[in-house]
Structure 1
């Protein structure tokens, strides 16, 4: 058959278009491999983050909700969470929970899938303001729960009204289930006041904070006294589960130094430790910022390891034991004091830190023997030792 010039031109055009399309298909990725490396000698299960900008090729023509993550060579998708850390309306990171054996790298795959869904789980992170109980701010995950107190609770104390609390300390809720209990316990407490002070099988709140620092509150240690803020005056919810909850609390200027304080608190799924990132601005130079752990009636035992940045309290509460702890960069530790006082709520472990610019970061957490996470003080010490290693040796995340 004789081929006309027009025929040859059409065939050549098709070949060129085919090659161009083929090249485009090779350039446009439909999956990304993520290698997560654990350099420590024990297994870890932690939340890792992949930056939004590193997923731009996948997101080019796809919705965020169609991004899925799975372990390489498996089919089941993992829980994920997008998070906007700076609240500018643009997502910053994609979170997922990585499991890595000791001294091992594990590969995960980020793919596009608009059809299949991620299996739901009852274990999540959660936080919120609780106006039905004055104005607590409460947060939890599958291991632990915490709370602190707002301006309405302060007002009631200052105006001699019932139901107030004056404290910027960090309260502990002892839970022994992996699902969220905040909404349930508060709802039950509205029906029957004092409900969450009784263990109905899920845990309860026997922990007393008062004017102490609870587990991880701060102050300024000066002239054998600890000067502290009152209740928070404003809050901002940044993120709520399923893998990480984040929020901020503002405090009115406090102490003779007129310290303006903003706490950013975050809690990851699977962790016993809240992270505190605190911004502090003062009118004049502050001698220190001191982190406290309350000692109830002096019944507990204390361990202070300045060179490790590890501070522990272990105490009996009713018919069980609770371990509290603070973990911090050793470069920030000036001294630590096992302080005893005849004044109520003032016997505390005090971690005196050197001010470093306008910020202070540390972790505070706990474990309760009835949760099944620890059985004795040795277990708690081991958990703290592992956590300080985790903080100092974060999982390495590389995109392939």
Structure 2
């Protein structure tokens, strides 16, 4: 009898302690690199299953243990099944250091808004662009109506699967403001009103991060995207998907999942592709415009760069990719407009991940080629050595 009572008491104490332990979850973020990092951190919801029991997602908060302040969070439903798959928050971690956080539930504590915003949306007011941005950079690409307008020789057409760059020098969002200005002045965002502008020419080139297949000294490319889906609007990470119609004799079909985090100059591209016939390669590129800039090719490090002046101001573009997937890379220069590109040929496997981005001198993030190459090297290290997240 005494043993039974003892076991019941022990079990009660254990259950009580377990319940109490689940009221908070300690989170540590470690940086193994020799420079400070500010990045969006992800926690798989599976790791939160015990903590989330009997809690409502809208009440979940995360606090920085050092500052004692709650931080903005974002839930992401990656597969669009109505259930969150990961929790995001922004972490500042010193070189070779660690930052500690605590997760808890508090319905009375207001969720702080992120001061920095990542954002994307479909833009029907200018035919059918898809645009995305954060506090440092902005991009866009083009849809089926823009293609139709070009093919029917109508106004405002764009036939391109390349990636356009919007040069911004403000940390605040510009997409909605610039497109709103376009409604009354089609040249609005081509003029710098103090926040930046769009002087970057894409045309039929790859822009920064466009794709294709290199065959017989020629680049086969898709036309404009045919469908789009916003997976996560933001504010810490924006995610969307674009699909493309089959192209070329190989009938290549692409699905591009593109994401952009606050604080980063690089969009992440995760591309799933298939073809009717085996592909010789799958290629990623950067436009060389009029061949007046300089290229940097480092296959061993998986770093590829282009350096040029636009309106007399420096801009660097680049691609970071796993060296293991690379076949070769070269600058393909031609006198044909929009056909000069720095090309990175990858081994065809049906899927490829890479990072493509840029930095503009007027943004203050870089001043010259050396600065941009250092940023590319850091990005390669960040990709190879992600922040380590532990929970207990």
Asked if 1 retains the 8 angstrom alpha-carbon contact of 2:161 and 2:223, the reply is yes
Q: Residue 139 of structure 2 corresponds to which residue in structure 1?
A: 146
Bigger Rg over Cα: 1
* Local SS of the residue matching 1:132: coil
Q: Residue 352 of structure 1 corresponds to which residue in structure 2?
A: 345
Asked if 1 retains the 8 angstrom alpha-carbon contact of 2:212 and 2:283, the reply is yes
1:140-289 → structure 2 map (5 Å cutoff) = 140-289=133-282
Asked if 1 retains the 8 angstrom alpha-carbon contact of 2:272 and 2:351, the reply is yes
Find the partner of 1:26 among 14, 17, 40: 17
Q: Residue 382 of structure 1 corresponds to which residue in structure 2?
A: 374
Provide closer, same or farther for how the CA distance between residues 66 and 21 of structure 1 changes in structure 2, counting only shifts above 3 A: farther
User: What is the CA distance between 1:73 and its match in structure 2?
Assistant: 4.1
* Local SS of the residue matching 1:133: coil
* Local SS of the residue matching 2:372: helix
Asked if 2 retains the 8 angstrom alpha-carbon contact of 1:122 and 1:178, the reply is no
User: What is the CA distance between 1:24 and its match in structure 2?
Assistant: 3.1
Q: Residue 362 of structure 1 corresponds to which residue in structure 2?
A: 354
Gaps of 5+ in 1: 1-12
* Local SS of the residue matching 2:125: helix
* Number of aligned residue pairs: 387
Q: Residue 298 of structure 1 corresponds to which residue in structure 2?
A: 291
Q: Which runs of 4+ in 1 moved over 4 A?
A: 15-22
Q: Distance in 1 between matches of 2:291 and 2:92?
A: 39
Asked if 2 retains the 8 angstrom alpha-carbon contact of 1:58 and 1:112, the reply is no
Asked if 2 retains the 8 angstrom alpha-carbon contact of 1:122 and 1:180, the reply is no
Asked if 1 retains the 8 angstrom alpha-carbon contact of 2:127 and 2:146, the reply is yes
Q: Residue 396 of structure 1 corresponds to which residue in structure 2?
A: 388
Find the partner of 1:313 among 301, 306, 310: 306
Q: Distance in 2 between matches of 1:238 and 1:259?
A: 24
Provide closer, same or farther for how the CA distance between residues 16 and 287 of structure 1 changes in structure 2, counting only shifts above 3 A: closer
Asked if 1 retains the 8 angstrom alpha-carbon contact of 2:66 and 2:100, the reply is no
Q: Residue 110 of structure 2 corresponds to which residue in structure 1?
A: 117
Q: Which region of structure 1 is more displaced relative to structure 2, 147-156 or 296-305?
A: 296-305
User: What is the CA distance between 1:107 and its match in structure 2?
Assistant: 1.3
Under a length normalisation based on structure 1, what TM-score does the superposition of the two structures give? 0.94
Gaps of 5+ in 2: none
